[in-house]
């Protein structure tokens, strides 16, 4: 088969890596199209280089626009690419504008489209990501769920006939590349003490575009850092722009440039705990056996909360401080190692499902 994969954002590049390798191993021809949603070299090209992903055949260079403009321009460009390249199947990933545009472009042309990470639900329709994933699941032909909870959501929505549980490709990537994170030397380069800092990220539009949320998040993280537990935050370009625009200061939080995948894994394996609004980092914290404090009021990755590895605190400074003060106890009580996310062979199952 000729399989065209559509990606545009950092988490999608990580998911793409094991699937790309599995497609080639199973004898398929692959084309990668990059929408350009994440365009900064530190948020895009370095991931292709580190993870050995083939260079995209095309880059639409659509970025830095409103959701409507982004989705519309991506849809136009992807339709053009699909008509020209005539793949047998399309794969889209996750919950971004690239996901939705890719799904719509494919199905409108009658091309079979598979959605990797189908069935995830936060049940917060104020989040653009929730709307993207719900809409993509509604139109895609093959819904590849990473977890039992995702599969159950699809069945409740009447989409079970198109759904299959395959496991989580980010677990595949972590197993394949995780040990290489320590070799980057990022922990030593930053002068950090292993087990002595919090790794934080903030990038969700629900947090960066709301001045009260952004202020509360950084107030809480600042109090933690001033209290003696360093907080290291690789700064997403969206977050940097929001801090400048809204006049919010990071305080004692140590801001560093965006980290590559291997650098992030190196930091993750060395930290005491994670504080994040990222879905992917919540899972990676679980894979690494690190307690996670999620800077949202809900999560798609409900398994991590149920086993005690993850707590939800929203943007309330007091809750953030209290949760991070208790991470050592959280780590002792959490049930790490449960096989929620498969056996590390999700990519093989995804490639096989395309021809089933």
- What CATH number does residue 15 fall under? 3.40.50.2000
Other CB atoms within 10 Å distance of the CB of residue 193? 10
194 and 119 in a single domain? The answer is: no
Give residue 296's Cα distance to chain centre. Answer: 15
Which pLDDT band, with edges at 50, 70 and 90, does 20 fall under?
very high
Mean pLDDT of the chain: 95
What does DSSP assign to residue 209? T
Tell me, yes or no, whether 300 lies in a domain.
yes
Tell me, yes or no, whether 175 lies in a domain.
no
212 and 149 in a single domain? The answer is: no
Find the range with the poorest average confidence among 37-46, 206-215, 338-347.
37-46
Q: Nearest 5°: phi and psi at 338? A: -65, 140
Tell me, yes or no, whether 161 lies in a domain.
yes
Judge whether 284 and 174 are in contact, CB under 8 Å.
Answer: yes
CA gap 93, 3 in Å, rounded: 14
Tell me, yes or no, whether 101 lies in a domain.
yes
Alpha carbons within 13 A on the beta-carbon side of 102: 35
79 and 195 in a single domain? The answer is: no
210 and 262 in a single domain? The answer is: yes
Residue 43: its pLDDT value, please?
55
Q: What is the mean pLDDT of residues 136-142?
A: 98
Which tokens belong to 145? Answer: 């769920």
315 and 347 in a single domain? The answer is: no
CA gap 23, 348 in Å, rounded: 8
Helices (H), the chain: 10-25, 45-51, 67-85, 97-108, 128-139, 148-156, 169-177, 186-189, 205-208, 211-226, 237-246, 261-270, 279-288, 302-306, 317-325, 327-333, 346-353
67 and 162 in a single domain? The answer is: yes
Catalytic, out of 63, 115, 203, 236: 203
Tell me, yes or no, whether 173 lies in a domain.
no
- Domain range for 141 is 2-168+342-353
> Smallest Cα–Cα separation from 163: which of 353, 12, 26?
353
> Smallest Cα–Cα separation from 30: which of 71, 59, 61, 1?
1
78 and 113 in a single domain? The answer is: yes
Tell me, yes or no, whether 248 lies in a domain.
yes
* Residue 38 is a catalytic residue: no
Q: What is the mean pLDDT of residues 109-117?
A: 98
Q: What is the mean pLDDT of residues 100-108?
A: 98
Find the range with the poorest average confidence among 88-97, 190-199, 239-248, 314-323.
239-248
Tell me, yes or no, whether 211 lies in a domain.
yes
How many domains, in total, are found in the chain?
Answer: 2
Residue 237: its pLDDT value, please?
86
* SS3 call for 130: helix
347 and 328 in a single domain? The answer is: no
pLDDT digits (tens, 9 = 90+) for 325-337: 999 999 999 999 9
Which tokens belong to 29? Answer: 């021809």
Q: What is the mean pLDDT of residues 50-74?
A: 92
117 and 229 in a single domain? The answer is: no
Tell me, yes or no, whether 174 lies in a domain.
no
CA gap 250, 147 in Å, rounded: 36
Residues linked to residue 293 through DSSP beta bridges, in sequence order: 275, 311
Q: What is the mean pLDDT of residues 131-146?
A: 98
Residue 236: its pLDDT value, please?
87
46 and 138 in a single domain? The answer is: yes
- The set of residues, in sequence order, having a beta carbon less than 8 Å from that of 320 and lying 6+ positions away, is 216, 217, 220, 221, 223, 224, 275, 293, 295, 313
258 and 318 in a single domain? The answer is: yes
111 and 186 in a single domain? The answer is: no
């Amino acid at each position: 088969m000729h399989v065209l994969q559509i990606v545009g954002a950092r988490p999608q590049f990580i998911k793409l890596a094991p699937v790309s390798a599995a497609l080639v191993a199973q004898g398929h021809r692959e084309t990668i199209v990059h929408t350009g949603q994440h365009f900064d070299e530190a948020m895009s090209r370095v991931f292709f280089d580190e993870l050995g992903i083939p260079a995209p055949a095309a880059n639409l260079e659509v970025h830095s626009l409103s959701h409507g403009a982004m989705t519309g321009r991506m849809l136009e460009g992807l339709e053009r690419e699909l008509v020209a390249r005539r793949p047998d199947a399309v794969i889209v990933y996750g919950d971004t504008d690239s996901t939705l545009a890719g799904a719509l472009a494919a199905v409108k042309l009658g091309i079979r489209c598979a959605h990797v990470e189908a069935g995830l639900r936060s049940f917060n329709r104020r989040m653009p990501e929730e709307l993207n994933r719900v809409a993509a699941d509604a139109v895609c032909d093959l819904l590849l769920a990473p977890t039992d909870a995702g599969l159950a959501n699809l069945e409740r929505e009447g989409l079970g006939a198109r759904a299959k549980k395959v496991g989580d490709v980010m677990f595949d990537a972590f197993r394949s590349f995780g040990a290489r994170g320590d070799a980057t030397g990022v922990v030593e380069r930053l002068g950090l003490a292993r087990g002595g800092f919090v790794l934080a990220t903030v990038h969700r539009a629900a947090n960066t575009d709301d001045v009260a949320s952004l202020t509360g998040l950084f107030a809480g993280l600042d109090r933690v850092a001033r209290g003696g537990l360093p907080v290291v935050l690789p700064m997403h370009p969206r977050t940097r722009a929001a801090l400048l625009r809204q006049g919010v200061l990071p305080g004692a939080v140590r801001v560093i440039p965006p980290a590559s995948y291997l650098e992030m894994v190196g930091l993750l394996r060395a930290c005491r705990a994670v504080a994040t609004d990222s879905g992917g980092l919540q899972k990676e914290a679980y894979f690494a056996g690190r307690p996670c404090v999620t800077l949202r009021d809900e999560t798609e990755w409900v398994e991590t909360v149920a086993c005690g590895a993850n707590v939800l605190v929203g943007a309330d400074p007091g809750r953030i401080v209290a949760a991070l003060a208790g991470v050592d106890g959280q780590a002792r009580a959490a049930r790490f190692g449960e096989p929620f996310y498969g056996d590390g062979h999700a990519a093989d199952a995804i490639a096989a499902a395309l021809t089933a």
